[in-house]
Structure 1
Amino acid sequence: MEKNDSARGEIRIVKGDTTIAKIGSSPIVIGREQLEPLMTEKLKAASISREHIRITPRDGRLYIEDFKPSKNGTWLVRDGQAIDLTGKKGETELLLSDEIILAKAVTLKLRSD
């Protein structure tokens, strides 16, 4: 597995060229509030939960979970394969090469500076 440690520099969650959140040492929750201003289709934005995903840094790695769980789903795309995290109990390791799809409405990526 690919390690996501701080030696790589700052890790950010991005949509296109826009930074949604920076990952530090504490868990972060991403949802509609952060994403709606970046979306042109308000109906799609409404399908994203207020607290859709949680990303937790731990022991030099990142973990993602569909939070609470979300109503309209969370998918992780790894090596061209979609992994459905919707309602899954527990965390899934998140790699820098993964894409995160929220409610089939928005795709997020990780960037390391």
Structure 2
Amino acid sequence: MIQSPRNYTQTRVNAGDWKNTEENLPYMGKYRVGKFILGNNFMLQYMKLIHLTPIDIDNEQDNTAGEYTVMYMQHHGIIDKNTLTQMREMVKQPKNGFSVYHENNVITGIYKDTNYE
């Protein structure tokens, strides 16, 4: 899943992109980072890449499998409040060596930069 090349409809997230440009848009919700929403695929990739959590999903395009996997990980404390905070911080200020991507304001993926050492 992580080695997959990014989809060309995705856009790279830069520091500060998360801030709301609309006055009416609230910052509320545990999956919301400003104008972005953390997607299941991003959360699974983050856990696999950053926390080295062994995740095996046969079809990465299957949103239902990803949703159930995220729910399972939250229920069993694998994804907790601290982990969600770390994910939100990664979206707000991507760490050196990593790229975060979004599509239509949904954070869709995190990839390790191959040319960063």
Please confirm whether the aligned pair reaches a TM-score higher than 0.5, indicating the same fold. Answer: no
Q: Of Structure 1 and Structure 2, which has the larger fraction of its residues in helix?
A: 2
Q: Indicate the structure with greater strand content.
A: 1
Flag the structure with larger Rg: 2
The structure showing larger relative contact order (alpha-carbon pairs under 8 Å, at least 6 residues apart) is 2
The TM-score normalised by the length of structure 1 is 0.25
